[in-house]
Chains A and B, each alone.
Chain A
């Protein structure tokens, strides 16, 4: 049971470079999410997707791009990385988006440092 996996787990990149974080889930969950987690802040939603080819902005989408051509994959791209994007990024999925009690399952996280 692979669940939800992220890659790379750790990445150091330079300012201005493009970086893609990969996310793959094996549960066929409809909804997928990208969050960033920074000290002193709660998890903040970057983008989410309700199904293949459907994506929506979250709370902090600027500087990020997502796509979802297949249900199981939801890559997050930083088009031109900035130091303020140094963070831990969590991909997550859930079977349904709005139903009561619907649990979100998280990947292991990707630690990104922009120098």
Chain B
């Protein structure tokens, strides 16, 4: 079966750096997405990786290793507003998105 694994919850301190990991086992691979979802709100797009390596976008970066079935989202200079769930999703060989259950990130002052 297809599977996306992320930690359920993480805690970090304001101003620090946090890395959220995502491992996947899917039938084929056509890209990996990260979405941010604040409590009670819709998911919003953060990043997309289809080739190995690091994609940087301001305070957020996303890394992909296709051979290892692994990605991470790196958040720098954490702010209280970064408290949210972070969803990893992989597009499989049928171009369907397979979603992880999400990682709830708690930021403490």
Which residues in A have some Cβ–Cβ distance to B below 8 Å? 40-45, 58, 90, 97-98, 100-101, 103-109
Contacts and interface: CB of A to CB of B under 8 A. Distances in A.
A43 B50 contact: no
Contacts, number: 46
B45 A42 contact: no
B-side binding surface: helix, strand, loop or mixed?
loop
B43 A90 contact: yes
Chain A interface SS verdict (over half): loop
Interface residues of B, number: 22
A106 B43 contact: yes
Nearest to B98: A42
Interface string B34-73: 0000001111110010100000000000000000000000
A101 B50 CA distance: 8
Contact of A104 (B40, B97, B102): B97
Given A103-B48, A104-B97, A90 B42 contact: yes
A107 B96 contact: no
A90 B44 CA distance: 12
A41 B95 contact: no
28 contacts: A40-B101, A42-B87, A42-B89, A42-B98, A42-B99, A42-B101, A42-B102, A43-B43, A43-B89, A43-B97, A43-B99, A44-B99, A45-B97, A90-B42, A90-B43, A98-B95, A100-B30, A101-B31, A101-B48, A101-B50, A103-B45, A103-B48, A104-B97, A106-B42, A108-B42, A109-B40, A109-B41, A109-B42
